Structure 1
């Protein structure tokens, strides 16, 4: 009889722990969340900002008692913005660190490299860094994306220029990378020129990594371009504007949202253009002021200095993920977390983005954009238009 009781007790113990046996990353006291990002190389300021956002969200959640009593622990891998390293980094996080979910996913090519591992492991994943269509089309059951398309960001900016700034005798022009990212930029440009019926002056492509744009900008001037869709990023965007200023070109400029970050502004502002940016993240209002003030409580001085738009959006991503995990109670599994993420409806981000809802066919949210304009003298942005949905109906 005593032996039978011991056997039954052991069986009950096995049953009580079976919920966690299949889903690594969860203990009685912790939940391990992964982050693969750019911590080295020229774009490392993006990865540092992402890590800061995750760290702050985890600190706030843990201080409030964690997720149903479990503390969030962040495990980070550096991919140096190299897709092959992204794959290997996530493989390590899954197999060695045994993460439960993923928040923080590097660039477009990088998340695409990670998707096979994400799908194979049914890994709950919130993508905040790169809301590319290739990530959510086709839909992956465990992947949830926050952010707008570059197509809509460029269309929204050009629509504001057309409707509100009303340039005289507009001639539109496009310069963009010769890759999938550039194609999405051109999609927004193409939609705008067709809808507005404006003159499509010229469309130019350049190879990623190009630094000298003198020939391209001469072509823009020869075409009479005074409304430019600038598909360059960081140094590339700055070099394009610098060449245009040398030629005294008077232009309205639409830009990639990377151009609202301090390092980008520092490079581009000397050209003197009051360029526009369309972004699905708040930049300069009460929401970001509150975030920055709170950050001083949880982050070091160096970490606070690293904050940019990627910090805000990754912070939101982890908060949404925590909300979903909370809905599972003590019996936390990946399958339950994915189910709860699909139920997220109008999650309030405190104004850092539009409210988040994943109860849609694409598991995509936060797509509304704000339109900002740079004052090149002060290097500050003014909000021209509040969160607006520019997606094609």
Structure 2
């Protein structure tokens, strides 16, 4: 082949390449990273209806930042945490996110709180090329991404999703106890509907018809009508798509009526406050869960030390929420460390999608992501309240 013909072929090939649609690139920011600092942001409910989540989560995050910085930071960079109060209000979450992106120049948003607040504010981040990592909501929008929308690659979740965890826990309980008339009572919002979806999908797969489906408005405190209906529908198991006050209220009402039935909570029920506030009323309650809750008198090694340090720092006992906040920052630090000394947004994205496994000190299932899967895991447990504390019944459940 003559040189000129070869050159012509190369030129035509190059021309053809310029007419191919460009692979859409994910725009990622490098702001907030300096020689000695990494700025991260979070918005929590510190004053609103779920501050019993927001405050301990923030404490856990602060504790992790302090530990990491005291040990010299990550590749010589200290973490600076910017914390804003959303009051669990989507509008405030949007304003807080704008402030953190534009004024504080955050590198990443880590562990932001709540389904409605995270959903309302996430586009502020993606438009600016800021990653949203490990938000405190198990809704699907936190990890499902459309490959055709490159900015959606900036979201990663390490919280057990409601639909999958509900299915795994319900399947285990149905097979264990051979229930014939399963029922559900769920909170009438995004969270509750996810639990309802899991309930319906699992019963359909098992070819079982629900005996009763009932809901309540968020913030309700009287459940007498729902309990009376479920009792008359002959429910032998009730799945609770609820949070803290509702399981206590419902089980108190059931005991008043002398109604013996098995209750199973979705994952938000699995917190220390339920047995602490519910006392005898909630004895025997089962709950779906992501990891075992450690207790000071039975914890060992690093976990025992961690519980003591938390109490020293904040003057109160650590809970599930504090662990989740602590782990959000530790998970971030693990992948930043993997990204190397020359930290950029792209290098952090590559580290997150590398398949490297983060393991926490609490024996939770490992956190692991890939280029196509931005959800850490779906491994589920079932626990039960016995003598005022949560006890593991079965772990390693998957549906």
TM-score, normalised to structure 1, is: 0.86
TM-fit CA distance, 1:30: 1.2
Match of 2:92 in 1: 85
Residue segments in structure 2 that go unaligned for 5+ positions in a row: 1-28, 147-151
- The one-character-per-residue Cα deviations of 1:122-181 (angstroms, maximum 9, x if unpaired) are 2122124112102223352111100222122222222222222345xx311111122222
**SS of alignment partner, residue 79 of structure 2:** strand
| Counterpart position of 1:49 | 56
After TM superposition, list the pairs within 5 Å mapping 1:194-233 onto structure 2. Answer: 194-233=204-243
The alignment's C-alpha RMSD in Å is 2.2
Name the SS for the 1:146 alignment partner: coil
- What's the CA shift for 1:328? 3.1
1:381 and 2:390 aligned: yes
Match of 1:17 in 2: none
Does the C-alpha gap of structure 1 residues 319 and 214 become closer, same or farther in structure 2, counting only changes over 3 Å? same
Normalising by structure 2, we get a TM-score of 0.85
Q: 2:333 aligns with which of 316, 322, 325?
A: 322
Does the aligned pair in 2 maintain the 1:29–1:69 contact within 8 Å?
yes
2:383 counterpart residue number:
372
CA distance in 1, matches of 2:265, 2:44: 24
Q: Which runs of 4+ in 1 moved over 6 A?
A: 285-289
2:111 is equivalent to residue 101 of structure 1:
no
Q: Partners of 1:163 and 1:289 in 2: how far apart?
A: 36
Distance apart, 1:353 and its partner CA: 1.9
Structure 1: 5+ residue stretches without partners = 1-21
Note the C-alpha offset of 1:243: 1.5
The aligned residue for residue 14 of structure 1 is none
What secondary structure, in the 3-state scheme, does the structure 2 residue paired with 1:364 have? coil
8 Å contact 1:177–1:207 — kept in the other structure? Answer: yes
Q: Which residue of 1 aligns with 2:354?
A: 343
Quick one: distance in 1 between partners of 2:142 and 2:357? 22
Q: What displacement does 1:48 show?
A: 1.5
- Distance in structure 2 (CA, Å) of the matches to 1:328 and 1:346: 13
Residues 84, 109 of structure 1: alpha-carbon distance in 2 compared, 3 angstrom cutoff: same
2:69 is the alignment partner of 1:62? yes
Shift of 1:306: 5.2
Residues 299-334 of structure 1, C-alpha deviations (whole Å, 9 max, x = no match): 453626252212222322222211222233332222
Deviation at 1:114, TM superposition (A): 1.4
